[in-house]
């Protein structure tokens, strides 16, 4: 199973397991891309769900602007959910429970004869407060792990004007796919390793990367946290020191799979004992 990973400028051509962070300046822009994402989900045989900060009636009316969505809503191939009907504005999600909710909905979609579940959700209202960021970023990483093994796809919308670029970056970096300039790197789920890394780990990542590591807490196996960094273009000493700190704090060895030559030299020069490099190929 191959998942998309990179920068996107539209919500088309995505598969059964793909996960996108869409940061936007204009609400109408996100709604347009969300409809595209859901229409393709129907074509792939998925059940689709549209979630936002509006009434359920308003969300359904928005979907009905698209040919075929009214019939999909009637037959249960499409549904809507209003964030306000489920969560208080100051609610802090429980990450594992949130993943379990979507896992249950995915399994129900499969049982009902669909190829999986696809959700387009504007979740800006769930991360307005700093206290909500930790939990929701952790949830984004955990649900991405789930997507690597089950047919659940999601387009997550965040209002960049309301939240600010810094807050959006904290959430965008937990997705394999993001809009342009949302985050310098991405730390996301993997079916084969503890996690995957992509992008640039440089001075622009100096504060964000340790925070993302703490929130994601990539799961170890046999005392090792293995990171597939084959999509990383640059990795500086700060990021390697952050990985070494993570190794020490969790009593593990961090193994970075990359074909870049510099990381191994930096590890040796700085005498970092908790992290090592393996070839990605």
CATH for 186-281 is 3.30.750.24
Q: How far apart are CA 253 and CA 96, in angstroms?
A: 25
Q: Quick one: CA dihedral 111, 116, 121, 125, positive or negative?
A: positive
Q: pLDDT confidence of 85, banded at 50, 70, 90?
A: confident
In this prediction the pTM is 0.96
Directed axis angle between helix 208-216 and helix 237-250, to 10°?
30
pLDDT of residue 213: 97
CATH 3.30.750.24 domain position(s) in the chain: 186-281
pLDDT of residue 281: 85
Q: What mean pLDDT is predicted for residues 225-247?
A: 98
State whether residue 33 is helix, strand or coil.
helix
Q: How far apart are CA 29 and CA 27, in angstroms?
A: 5
CATH for 1-183 is 3.40.50.300
- Structure tokens that stand for 177 in this block: 């796919």
Is the pLDDT at 86 greater than 80, yes or no? no
Contacting residues for 195 by C-beta, under 8 A, at least 6 apart: 141, 187, 188, 189, 216, 218, 225, 227, 228
Q: pLDDT confidence of 87, banded at 50, 70, 90?
A: confident
Phi and psi at residue 271, in whole multiples of 5°? 55, 50
Q: Which of 1-5, 42-46, 249-253 has the lowest mean pLDDT?
A: 1-5
CATH 3.40.50.300 domain position(s) in the chain: 1-183
Whether residue 11 contacts residue 22, with contact meaning beta carbons closer than 8 Å, is answered with yes
Whether residue 157 contacts residue 120, with contact meaning beta carbons closer than 8 Å, is answered with yes
Q: What mean pLDDT is predicted for residues 42-60?
A: 95
> For the segment 106-134, what is each residue's pLDDT rounded down to a tens digit?
999 999 999 999 999 999 999 998 889 99
Q: pLDDT confidence of 73, banded at 50, 70, 90?
A: very high
């Amino acid at each position: 199973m191959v998942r998309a990973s990179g920068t996107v400028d539209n919500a088309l051509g995505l598969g059964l397991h793909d996960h996108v962070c869409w940061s936007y300046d204009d609400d109408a822009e996100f709604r347009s891309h969300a409809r595209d994402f859901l229409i393709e989900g129907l074509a792939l045989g998925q059940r689709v769900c549209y979630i936002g900060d509006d009434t359920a009636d308003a969300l359904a009316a928005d979907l009905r602007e698209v040919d075929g969505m009214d019939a999909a809503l009637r037959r249960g191939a499409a549904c809507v959910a209003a964030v306000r009907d489920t969560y208080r504005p100051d609610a802090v999600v429980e990450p594992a429970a949130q993943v379990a909710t979507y896992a249950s909905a995915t399994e129900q979609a499969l049982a009902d004869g669909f190829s999986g579940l696809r959700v387009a959700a504007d979740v800006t209202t769930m991360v307005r407060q700093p206290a909500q960021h930790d939990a929701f970023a952790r949830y984004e990483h955990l649900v991405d792990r789930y997507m690597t093994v089950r047919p659940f796809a999601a387009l997550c919308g965040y209002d960049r004007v309301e939240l600010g670029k810094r807050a959006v970056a904290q959430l965008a970096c937990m997705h394999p796919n993001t809009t342009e300039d949302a985050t310098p790197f991405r730390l996301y789920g993997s079916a084969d390793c503890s996690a995957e890394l992509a992008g640039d780990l440089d001075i622009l990542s100096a504060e964000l990367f340790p925070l993302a590591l703490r929130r994601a807490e990539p799961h170890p196996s046999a005392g090792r946290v293995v990171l597939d960094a084959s999509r990383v273009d640059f990795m500086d000493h700060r990021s390697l020191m952050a990985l070494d700190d993570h190794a020490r704090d969790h009593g593990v060895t961090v193994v970075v799979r990359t074909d870049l030559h510099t990381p191994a030299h930096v590890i040796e020069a700085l005498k970092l004992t908790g992290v090592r490099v393996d070839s990605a190929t």
